[in-house]
Amino acid sequence: MAILVTGGLGYIGSHTVVELLNNNFEVIIVDDLSNSEKFILNNIQEITGKKPIFYPFDLRRKELLHQVFDAHTIEGCINFAAYKAVGESQEKPLDYYENNLFTLINILQEFKNRNISNFIFSSSCTVYGQADKMPIDESALLKTPESVYGKTKQMGEEVLKDFANAYHSKICLLRYFNPIGAHPSSLLGELPIGVPNNLVPYVMQTATGIREKLNVWGNDYNTEDGTAIRDYIYVVDLAKAHVAALQKLMTNTSVETTIDIFNLGTGKGSSVLEVVEAFEKANSVSVPYQICDRREGDIEIAYADASKAEQELGWKSETTLQEALKTAWNWQKYLETKTN
């Protein structure tokens, strides 16, 4: 019996595959390598001593997906496969809606036809927009996200809730705050394509000299140092939450519809300048920066109330910002040895 992990060679997917293998799950990865690299598969094997089954194809190819379900007894899915670049999603909305939603529906059709349950969906705190109060718990009002990317996450959640209600299935929506860092082995991490959008990859490329300066998007927010606040969660901690969520779904033998929703964050907000400072301290490097205008679409502040995950999954974030940023830097150095 196996767990299907779509996008299993991607950033959060690969870390989750490692945790699943460490917990003795059989893992089947489907990944089209559109935002990941084949060497990650070997690195997963190097870390765990186990090789997951890997199918390189685009999940829009229904017939290939059907064959995977025919070939294996799949008892659950963690669905990471999705496009995730916010700016690009505005330029190519149809590609985002098609890729992020059709692939989800294709998997759910297989689940429905074969009466499979246990589906975990990668959602995002972007579904809350600028929440009215901090920390954000799961009952906070959902707001229509500004980006097409964010809308695909919110729509994906709706598709899954309707699926669960109609077919009495068990699903779990995991709303990530800002994932950062890399595997302690330095063999897995984030691989941004082109100029990174997200803060930590940009900080790393500035520290290493690929970028001249970090642009800090705005210092006129209503926060202590004026820069925006986010909840940065270490990717290995995040990966472990998936295993806990899966175990909860799989040990729930009730035939009732189950819709679990969890915020995954540390519960602590850090400003952009605090992240820069923590990175510099953790790695004894300097990160030159300049203050720029606010970035369009950015919110002021978001951090999680992750107490529901602690109570119901027995999970909580364990890694400090500095520790996480140290792993990020080690990964950057590993990447340099690969390209040199």
Residue 215 binding ligand UD1, by CB under 6 A: yes
Among the listed residues 245, 248, 236, the one whose alpha carbon sits nearest the alpha carbon of residue 317: 236
Interface positions, 265-284, toward ligand UD1 (CB under 6 A): 272
d(CA 199, CA 323): 16
Question: What DSSP element (H or E) covers 70?
Answer: helix 62-71
Residue 97 annotated in active site: no
Peptide bond into 184 cis (omega under 30): no
Q: Which stretch binds ligand UD1 (CB under 6 A): 21-29, 46-54, 262-270, 294-302?
A: 294-302
Question: Binding string to ligand UD1 for residues 139 to 178, with x set by CB under 6 A, is what?
Answer: --------x-xx---------------------------x
The binder of ligand UD1 chosen from 298, 310, 316, 323 (CB under 6 A): 298
Residue 230 binding ligand UD1, by CB under 6 A: yes
Q: Which stretch binds ligand UD1 (CB under 6 A): 44-52, 161-169, 239-247, 291-299?
A: 291-299
Q: Is 92 helix (H, G, I), strand (E, B) or coil?
A: coil
Residue 54 binding ligand UD1, by CB under 6 A: no
Among the listed residues 338, 311, 179, the one whose alpha carbon sits nearest the alpha carbon of residue 248: 311
Rounded to 5 degrees, φ, ψ at 166 are -70, -35
Size of the site for ligand UD1 (CB under 6 A): 21
Question: CB of 277 within 8 A of CB of 215?
Answer: no
The binder of ligand UD1 chosen from 48, 197, 320, 322 (CB under 6 A): 197
Catalytic entry in 55, 149, 221, 232: 149
Q: Which residue has the tokens 């009215």?
A: 132
Nearer Cβ to ligand UD1 (176/315): 176
Three-point CA angle 8, 261, 12, nearest 5° = 20
Q: Which residues are part of the catalytic machinery?
A: 149
